[in-house]
Amino acid sequence: MIQEANLIEVFCAVQGEGPYVGVRQAFVRFSGCNLNCSYCDTPVAPPGSCKYESPSKPISFLHVKNPMGPASVDKLIESYDKIHSVSLTGGEPLLNADFISALSTDVPLYLESNMTLPDMARKVKDKVSYVSGDVKLDPGLPEDELELHLKNTIKCFSILRNTDCRDCFCKVVVTSKTSMDDLILIIEDIHRYLSCVILQPVTQEHMAASPSFLLDCQYRLLDIVDTRIIPQTHKMWGCL
């Protein structure tokens, strides 16, 4: 059976977050997510069509009917040139692990995941070259589900860990509600799987942590792993 997926958009831009900020990428944005984070700004409901940015007319979009098959998405990706990698983002792309496994593009795949679906992570671990894995300390889940959520996060990082063939790093969106103790505990559990940790200040001003808190988090985490503070740069230069 041919695996299909509902996509929100396919476009070409630059990575705005993390250690690869500024590289030119094709973005494949999946709909749907298994979490409900308070700071999320991405629609997750499945659209009737996927917006596809024409390579000949930047910021001009065509509409392609959903759901789409891997071969169709391969063709859209191949229409862009000079790209560093293909960002698989969402929503939560691991909900479509079989679809990702069926992609045949030669361009390296860059997975952006909430890292809570270990069974799906196993399906793509040999397919992706870059893993931008989130640690969700405020996942919008009931209290009795948080322990399993964190166990799944640790398991996902162990499956998609940093290797000679795959760069796995961790991104943490830091808000005014972030607990430094909770942050340090989870990083202690996963640091051996990572190339680095990215502390990303939340963009919503009413949820923002203080600069001093971010600096204190970095200072303490540097005893464990390479830690950097990098905001969402595409919002800074007006791309989003």
Please report, for the domain that includes residue 191, its CATH number: 3.20.20.70
Q: pLDDT at position 144, please?
A: 78
Is 157 inside any structural domain?
A: yes
Q: Which residues of the chain have pLDDT under 70?
A: 1-2, 37-45, 139-140, 240
Please report whether residue 1 resides in a domain: no
Residue 87's nearest CA partner among 108, 70, 63 is 108
> pLDDT tens digits for 150-187?
999 999 999 999 999 999 999 999 999 999 999 999 99
End-to-end CA distance of the chain: 37
- Domain ranges, residue 28: 7-236
**Which amino acid makes up residue 134?**
D
Q: Is residue 230 part of a domain?
A: yes
Q: Are 78 and 56 in contact (CB under 8 A)?
A: no
Q: Say how far apart CA 171 and CA 200 lie, in whole Å.
A: 7
Vertex 169 angle, CA 205 and 174, to 5°: 20
* Structure token digits, residue 171: 């991104």
* Residue 81 lies inside a defined structural domain of this protein: yes
Q: What is the pLDDT of residue 44?
A: 60
| Cα 221 from Cα 212, distance rounded (Å) | 14
Structural domain count of the chain: 1
Predicted confidence at residue 38, as pLDDT, reads 65
Question: Which pLDDT score, from 0 to 100, does residue 2 have?
Answer: 64
